[in-house]
């Protein structure tokens, strides 16, 4: 079941209705846990044992850590959790990628064996629930949050169905406190949740799914198309992945809100960012915070003896983004994508420290002109990096990039009206609206007339323009 299917709508409506009839918070939690496991079973029956093992293993390690004051023993428990979580993630997601690269190196050295390849099933959502579980154990280790005393509550935290497959990466400190007391869901909460879900569905079905076909055609054979077509295909994919993932996040937030749970925001108009650093504060926010808090900052602490702060931050930032790229998938293309963003973040850090334009910053035209240039540079970096994120292989990515940068004239021209309309819609919202606004929270606060008009407009867009054959969410593959 995907969020944009009628099956999910019926499933969720049934869950919400049954939940509203329950008088016990304990019964409510057992219900949500049961339907979360059932939701995961609809995607993979064998892999449900893996997510339950991860949940119970880290719950037990957390309990033991809370009962162990001795630092060495606590550190061993932390290491055990990391070995279990990263070991499972590495095996299921990266084993074939690792073997391919080992055999490539051996072949380059003149050593030739028959290369093994294992049909390892990638468990749905493993990257997301593994990161959530790791964050819990680390936070317990550093005593940032209390130990969870209920195996049911912790398993519910890991398996909660709105977020299990594709985030947002909700932390234990954000979710587990909501299981202590029953939240009374008000009519306003339901309206806010429905607004999130409706806006997310529009992003997904009206924008992302409508342009997915033409984007795939262009990326499947870039050698066939001219430079303008390649540019529209690349811009189209940037809009597609944004509306696809932001749409999923909005629907997940909306579902959780209707059931009485609050999730953090995951996207906040990222294309309004003036710098690449600001972009990462607005794009996939929960993942950005995770890598900052659990990888970048520990690297900063571990290398604090380095007297050159700029060099230290730059190296740690590059390492963080390379691993962020690898987290997205077992491919060098993702590593290169992460490297591009790491280099851009590093360049921005060096620029802010160097600050060569300090002498002209108080001149009248400096701020608007610099903001325009910086915004264009940020968008160009983000868009060009998407070539490596979308292309199926390194050779396809380089072919696409070379033909685009040389503005190839040979080849067919395909200008999709869906892509053009999507770009106008996305850029109009992100560049013209106030960047820190949250429309899903603002609309329910309006008077009745504008609310009805907005809801009617969104529903009409879904009915008249929405894709009739929903496409699976892009981030499910990660």
Active-site residue list: 328
Structure tokens at 436: 């820190």
d(CA 240, CA 233): 10
Nearest to 269 by CA among 277, 261, 278, 260: 278
Gap between the Cα atoms of 161 and 167, Å rounded: 10
Q: How far apart are CA 154 and CA 135, in angstroms?
A: 13
* Cβ atoms of 462 and 213 closer than 8 Å: no
Question: Positive or negative CA dihedral for 138, 140, 144, 150?
Answer: positive
In angstroms, the CA 149 to CA 415 distance is: 57
Cα–chain-centroid distance for residue 373?
27
Closest Cα to residue 248, out of 457, 13, 16, 477?
Answer: 477
- Which residue, among 30, 22, 24, has the nearest Cα to 152 in the 3D structure? 30
Indicate the Cα dihedral angle 395, 400, 401, 402, nearest 10°: 90
Greatest Cα pair distance in the chain: 74
Query: What would the two tokens of residue 105 be?
Result: 């190196």
């Amino acid at each position: 079941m995907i969020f944009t299917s009628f099956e999910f709508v019926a499933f969720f409506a049934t869950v919400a209705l049954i939940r509203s009839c329950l008088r016990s918070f304990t019964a409510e939690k057992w219900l949500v846990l049961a339907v979360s496991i059932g939701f995961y079973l609809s995607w993979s029956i064998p892999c449900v044992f893996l997510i339950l093992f991860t949940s119970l293993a880290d719950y037990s390690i957390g309990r033991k850590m809370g009962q162990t004051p001795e630092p060495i023993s606590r550190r061993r428990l932390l290491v055990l959790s990391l070995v279990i979580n990263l070991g499972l993630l590495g095996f299921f997601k990266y084993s074939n990628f690792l073997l391919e690269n080992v055999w490539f190196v051996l072949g380059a050295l003149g050593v030739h064996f028959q290369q093994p390849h294992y049909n390892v099933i990638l468990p749905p959502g493993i990257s997301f629930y593994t990161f959530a579980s790791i964050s819990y154990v680390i936070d317990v280790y550093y005593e940032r949050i209390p130990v969870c005393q209920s195996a049911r509550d912790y398993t519910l935290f890991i398996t909660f169905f709105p977020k299990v497959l594709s985030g947002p990466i909700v932390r234990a400190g954000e979710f587990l406190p909501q299981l202590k007391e029953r939240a009374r869901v008000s009519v306003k909460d339901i309206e806010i949740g429905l607004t999130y879900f409706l806006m997310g569905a529009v992003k997904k079905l009206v924008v992302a799914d409508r342009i997915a076909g033409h984007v795939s055609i262009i990326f499947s054979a870039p050698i066939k198309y001219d430079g303008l077509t390649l540019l529209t295909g690349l811009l189209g994919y940037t809009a597609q992945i944004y509306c696809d993932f932001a749409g999923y996040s909005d629907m997940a937030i909306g579902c959780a809100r209707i059931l009485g749970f609050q999730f953090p925001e995951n996207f906040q108009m990222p294309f309004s960012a003036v710098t690449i650093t600001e972009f990462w504060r607005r794009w996939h926010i929960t993942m950005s915070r995770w890598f900052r808090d659990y990888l970048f900052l520990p690297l900063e602490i571990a290398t604090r003896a380095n007297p050159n702060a700029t060099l230290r931050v730059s190296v740690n930032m590059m390492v963080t983004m390379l691993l962020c790229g690898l987290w997205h998938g077992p491919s060098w293309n993702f590593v290169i994508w992460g490297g591009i963003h790491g280099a851009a973040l590093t360049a921005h850090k060096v620029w802010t420290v160097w600050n060569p334009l300090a002498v002209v910053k108080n001149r009248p035209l400096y701020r608007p002109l610099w903001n325009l240039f910086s915004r264009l540079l940020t968008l160009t970096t983000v868009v060009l990096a998407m070539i490596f994120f979308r292309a199926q292989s390194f050779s396809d990515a380089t072919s696409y990039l070379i033909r685009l940068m040389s503005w190839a004239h040979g080849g067919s021209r395909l200008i999709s009206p869906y892509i053009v309309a999507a770009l106008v819609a996305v850029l109009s919202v992100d560049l013209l609206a106030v960047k820190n606004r949250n429309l899903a929270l603002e609309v329910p606060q309006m008077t009745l007339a504008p609310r009805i008009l907005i809801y009617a407009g969104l529903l009409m867009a879904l009915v008249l323009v929405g894709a009739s054959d929903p496409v699976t969410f892009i981030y499910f593959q990660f």
